[in-house]
């Protein structure tokens, strides 16, 4: 896979439609993928924190916003299009609707996640919304949450705990979640519910 390096963060150079096609192929072939939608703030976070940097270096990183597209342009690297978090979430839900994938939503407040789940299910009725849970849990509840998610075998697992918390969480439990595509979605559920 071709990558462009922006301040040492390895970005996918695929455009929006190509990214979706690539992700569909990974999901349909049962690969595990951790997606990070990285804007300049995330790039800086990776620069400042070694732990987060190594997580990002292992992830499928997409250019979230025009700032990354410009940074690529200035360094003569082939990123031509942004791939933002909310748009990616919606496009993957459309694929879930086509393929009948299992989808699990984790994070945000109880009110927000419930409303986001209701709206997404209404818009993508053939996607199997196999579970959702708010993002305000204690560490001792995590075992049970991981088991619950693993039992639903989600093709898509969207996690909204804010960066880097959502990505640390995904990497910590990645092997046990039985999820194919895992993606931190930051404030996306708040946007969708609003
Ligand atoms: N959140 C959560 N649990 C936490 C911290 C945050 O569920 O312990 C949720 C919060 O309610 C919001 C999202 O995570 O829905 C974070 O959104 P924010 O816009 O802060 O994230 P960013 O887009 O900056 O990564």
Residue 108 clears pLDDT 90, i.e. is over it: yes
Q: Which domain holds residue 92?
A: 3-193
Question: What ranges in 8-105 are assigned the alpha helix state H?
Answer: 16-28, 40-48, 50-58, 66-74, 85-99
* pLDDT tens digits, one per residue of 33-71: 999 999 999 999 999 999 999 999 999 999 999 999 999
Nearest CA to ligand 1 atom 23: 186
Say if CB 113 and CB 132 are below 8 A apart. Answer: yes
Say if CB 93 and CB 183 are below 8 A apart. Answer: no
Do the strands 3-6 and 156-160 form a parallel or antiparallel pair, or are they unpaired? unpaired
* pLDDT tens digits, one per residue of 73-94: 999 999 999 999 999 999 999 9
ipTM score here? 0.95
Q: Is 154 in the pocket of ligand 1 (CB under 6 A)?
A: no
Residue 5 clears pLDDT 90, i.e. is over it: yes
Residue 92: predicted pLDDT: 98
Residue 28 clears pLDDT 80, i.e. is over it: yes
Domain tally, the chain: 1
Ligand 1 centre to CA of 37 (Å) is 14
Measured in residues, the chain has a length of 194
* pLDDT tens digits, one per residue of 163-173: 999 999 999 99
Ligand 1 centre to CA of 160 (Å) is 6
Residue 1: predicted pLDDT: 75
Say if CB 74 and CB 100 are below 8 A apart. Answer: no
């Amino acid at each position: 896979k071709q990558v462009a390096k922006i301040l040492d963060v390895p970005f996918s150079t695929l455009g929006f439609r190509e990214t979706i096609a690539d992700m569909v192929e990974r999901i349909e072939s049962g690969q595990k993928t951790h997606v990070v939608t990285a804007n300049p703030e995330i790039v800086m976070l990776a620069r400042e924190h070694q732990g987060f940097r190594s997580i990002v270096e292992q992830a499928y990183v997409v250019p979230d916003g025009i700032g990354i597209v410009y940074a690529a342009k200035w360094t003569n690297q082939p990123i031509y299009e942004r791939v933002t978090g909310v748009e990616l979430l919606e496009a993957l839900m459309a694929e879930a609707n086509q393929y009948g994938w299992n989808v699990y939503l984790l994070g945000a407040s109880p009110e927000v996640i419930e409303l986001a789940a209701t709206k997404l299910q209404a818009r993508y009725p053939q996607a199997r919304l196999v579970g959702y849970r708010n993002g305000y849990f204690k560490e001792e509840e995590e075992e049970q949450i991981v088991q619950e998610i693993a039992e639903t075998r989600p093709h898509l697992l969207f996690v909204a705990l804010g960066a880097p918390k959502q990505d640390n969480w995904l990497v910590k439990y990645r092997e046990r979640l039985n999820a194919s595509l895992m993606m931190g979605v930051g404030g996306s559920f708040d946007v969708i519910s609003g």
